[in-house]
Chains A and B, each alone.
Chain A
Amino acid sequence: MNIRESFALALSSIWNHKIRSILTMLGIIIGVSAVIIVVAIGDGARQQMADDLFSTDENAIPLYFEQTTYEENGEMMWVEPPAVTAEHLDTVNEVPGVKYVLGTNSGWGTMNHNEHTADMEIIGVDNQYFIAKDLTLLEGRRLNTRDTDSYSRVAMIDSLTRENMFAPDEEAVGAIIDINNNPYKVVGVYESTLPPEFRHMEGFSNGQMLMPRTLISMMFGSPEIDTINIIADQPDYLTETGFAAAEKLTELTGSDEGMYVAEDMSAYVEEFDSFYLTITLFISSIAGISLFVGGIGVMNIMLVSVTERTREIGLRKALGATRGQILRQFLIESVTLTSLGGLIGIGFAALVTAVAAVFLPFSPIINPVVVIVGILFSSMIGIVFGILPANKASKLSPIDALRYE
């Protein structure tokens, strides 16, 4: 009897006991599908996180000042970050791999206009900001170098602010608005950078404004540049580019009490990976128990099957089947049973992840390696837990087996 015939025999035997076979396979189905689903969801979440970290915000990596000295004369000490100038940033821009250097500052102000009042964030920018960020100008003009150099009291408002503070038919460009009781002239309106679904969320944002950073520094007393973002030529080398830029900036600003560092995005991914590994191991161990119990179920049902088919085994031996052939027949049957369970588990996992994709904010990714391991593992369970019943069957004496009632 060749392998193909043995498989056909095994399949017909499984088919003849449909309910029993399904129940027996359940442990394997649950175990295999659980692992595939968890890994698929984890991979999907990881992919989404990596995309969020590296692909949005135009591949920007922030530089921040980290103090290296914390104490002076036994007392806690706060080190003021050294002043960063536009010239410093121009030099950092020369570092290989750096595409743009965004130096900004910010302030919060209470805006009053047309009897509307709102607290909002004001970002201080230079013209580099408009090159790096792809803002959509809706009305008027952008801020330019002259505004920065001359401390012009001008502002750009975003579409959300225009909507909230101005009447629809009111001319916004050229309007004088009041922020912290100081008048500023609106020169342009740009599309809000918030995703549309968040724009009208209660309490989420009142809108945003841009002003020359020199003006912010003067009016709000903040440094001209307090936030630095590096944009890399190649997103793949964002972290490395950030490190190089930070090193250059530290060298330029020359503080001996601290240094500029780039935020290491890959650290977030590593942190997620370690969390995800813990979850995966946890679920896998539960799945492992399920597979083990499933395997015992397979062994149990195969032992029942051997007992039920004692006479068949005796007859087959009388007709010339060797021990090896009987052993193989039962082993193939248990392997077929568990492999089938594995395949159903994979199908079930595919179904669940497809449904989950509709509800989750990301798409689960089914890992082909896990699928292959799932099939191999379920077949292996068939061998491991099938050996005992198959061996029992093969050792039956044909005389006793034929006499069995």
Chain B
Amino acid sequence: MIRLSQITKTYGSGSVSVPVLRGLDLEIRDGEFVAIMGPSGSGKSTLMNIIGFLDKQTGGTYSLNGEDVKQANEKQLAGLRNKHIGFVFQQFFLLPRLNAQKNVETPLLYAGVSKKERSERALGLLEKVGLKDRTGHLPSELSGGQKQRVAIARALVNHPTVILADEPTGALDSRTGAQIMDLLTELNREGKTVIIVTHEEEIAAWTDRIIVLRDGLIVDDRQVTS
């Protein structure tokens, strides 16, 4: 359960300070499938960074599973990212010199998981995302859709609370994009909380709930009726 209350985020200070989030309240329950939308500059990326522990809010409280994370230092934030968040990026961000399996294993290196278990978990997830026969391939030998599948397997590997996907289909053609959305939907059905940041209505339509931001505030929060 994600609970944000009166979250503000201001970049800079004094006369040059730029408020990006202006007192935002949001609750996302476990197992929800949410899209965060909004034009550029609306603060949706900043919101995603705060939820993903990549950034800290200036004011307000953020609690994950009932735990207030305001006091966390940099090292603890790294641990929270590792343990609770599975990131999926528009540009995939796979390590180019590591094969698919090693890429999926990377978060487990930082979690201190043994080599044998890392390998088992990575191979299991690559099979789950349909890349059983691509485990030894380098990212350069994979298609865009396959790369994003590897990235999703990597996001899942440390059993995170939340999958945070930032424009996950932005670099893919619509057919491949649909396959990726299918996969994320399936993960959500299995009980994962999935949050997608997007500016495409089509993508947002896959989710159950659409939150729209404008100028650092939530202007719309609606359930999707299919």
Say if the beta carbon of A46 comes within 8 Å of chain B.
Answer: no
Complex formed: what's the CA distance from A324 to B75 in Å? 8
Assuming the contacts A12-B97, A399-B55, asked whether A322 and B89 have C-beta atoms less than 8 A apart, the reply is: no
Hey, which chain B residues are within 8 Å of A142, CB to CB?
A: none
Q: Which of B43-86 contact A (CB under 8 A)?
A: 49, 52, 54-55, 74-75, 78-79, 81-83
Q: Check if A312 sits within 8 Å of B81, measured CB to CB.
A: no
Question: Does more than half of chain A's interface fall in helix, strand or loop, or is it mixed?
Answer: helix
Stretch from A80-88, A89-97, A313-321 forming part of the interface with B:
A313-321
Residue of A nearest to B96 (CB): A312
Assuming the contacts A1-B109, A5-B109, A399-B54, asked whether A320 and B78 have C-beta atoms less than 8 A apart, the reply is: yes
Say if the beta carbon of A300 comes within 8 Å of chain B.
Answer: no
Hey, which chain B residues are within 8 Å of A322, CB to CB?
A: 74-75, 78-79, 110
Hey, which chain A residues are within 8 Å of B54, CB to CB?
A: 317-318, 398-399
Assuming the contacts A325-B110, A398-B54, A402-B89, asked whether A319 and B82 have C-beta atoms less than 8 A apart, the reply is: yes
Q: Check if A320 sits within 8 Å of B95, measured CB to CB.
A: no
Say if the beta carbon of B154 comes within 8 Å of chain A.
Answer: yes
Residue of B nearest to A2 (CB): B112
Q: Nearest chain A CB to B199's CB is how many angstroms away?
A: 17
Complex formed: what's the CA distance from A351 to B52 in Å? 56
Say if the beta carbon of A16 comes within 8 Å of chain B.
Answer: yes
Complex formed: what's the CA distance from A312 to B139 in Å? 14
Assuming the contacts A399-B49, A399-B54, A399-B55, asked whether A320 and B110 have C-beta atoms less than 8 A apart, the reply is: yes
Residue of B nearest to A403 (CB): B45
Q: Nearest chain A CB to B24's CB is how many angstroms away?
A: 18
Q: Check if A319 sits within 8 Å of B107, measured CB to CB.
A: yes
Hey, which chain B residues are within 8 Å of A324, CB to CB?
A: 75
Say if the beta carbon of B158 comes within 8 Å of chain A.
Answer: yes
Q: Nearest chain B CB to A11's CB is how many angstroms away?
A: 12
Hey, which chain B residues are within 8 Å of A1, CB to CB?
A: 109-110, 112
Say if the beta carbon of B111 comes within 8 Å of chain A.
Answer: yes
Hey, which chain B residues are within 8 Å of A399, CB to CB?
A: 49, 54-55
Q: Check if B109 sits within 8 Å of A315, measured CB to CB.
A: no
Residue of A nearest to B154 (CB): A319
Q: Which of A293-323 contact B (CB under 8 A)?
A: 311-312, 315-323
Say if the beta carbon of B106 comes within 8 Å of chain A.
Answer: yes
Q: Nearest chain B CB to A20's CB is how many angstroms away?
A: 15
Q: Check if B109 sits within 8 Å of A318, measured CB to CB.
A: no
Q: Looking at the complex, which one of B74, B75, B110, B112 makes contact with A319 (CB distance below 8 Å)?
A: B110
Q: Nearest chain B CB to A18's CB is how many angstroms away?
A: 14
Q: Nearest chain B CB to A311's CB is how many angstroms away?
A: 7
Q: Check if B78 sits within 8 Å of A402, measured CB to CB.
A: no
Assuming the contacts A319-B87, A398-B54, asked whether A311 and B93 have C-beta atoms less than 8 A apart, the reply is: yes
Complex formed: what's the CA distance from A325 to B112 in Å? 11
Residue of B nearest to A398 (CB): B54
Hey, which chain B residues are within 8 Å of A402, CB to CB?
A: 89, 93
Residue of B nearest to A312 (CB): B95
Complex formed: what's the CA distance from A314 to B129 in Å? 25
Q: Looking at the complex, which one of A311, A320, A323, A325 makes contact with B158 (CB distance below 8 Å)?
A: A320
Assuming the contacts A319-B106, A323-B75, A399-B54, asked whether A16 and B93 have C-beta atoms less than 8 A apart, the reply is: no
Q: Check if A320 sits within 8 Å of B82, measured CB to CB.
A: yes
Assuming the contacts A12-B97, A399-B55, asked whether A320 and B49 have C-beta atoms less than 8 A apart, the reply is: no
Q: Which of B108-137 contact A (CB under 8 A)?
A: 109-112
Assuming the contacts A311-B93, A324-B75, asked whether A318 and B110 have C-beta atoms less than 8 A apart, the reply is: no
Hey, which chain B residues are within 8 Å of A316, CB to CB?
A: 106, 110
Q: Check if A318 sits within 8 Å of B52, measured CB to CB.
A: yes
Hey, which chain A residues are within 8 Å of B83, CB to CB?
A: 320
Residue of B nearest to A317 (CB): B78
Q: Which of A1-47 contact B (CB under 8 A)?
A: 1, 5, 12, 16
Complex formed: what's the CA distance from A322 to B107 in Å? 11
Q: Looking at the complex, which one of B52, B78, B95, B97 makes contact with A315 (CB distance below 8 Å)?
A: B95
Q: Nearest chain A CB to B162's CB is how many angstroms away?
A: 13
Q: Which of A344-402 contact B (CB under 8 A)?
A: 398-399, 402
Hey, which chain A residues are within 8 Å of B158, CB to CB?
A: 320
Q: Nearest chain A CB to B86's CB is how many angstroms away?
A: 9
Complex formed: what's the CA distance from A311 to B78 in Å? 16
Complex formed: what's the CA distance from A175 to B5 in Å? 126
Given contacts A320-B110, A321-B82, list 7 more A-B pairs with CB under 8 A. Answer: A5-B109, A311-B93, A315-B93, A317-B78, A318-B81, A319-B81, A323-B74
Complex A-B, nearest 9 residue pairs according to Cβ-Cβ distance, in ascending order: A320-B82, A322-B78, A320-B110, A1-B109, A319-B107, A315-B93, A322-B75, A321-B110, A320-B81
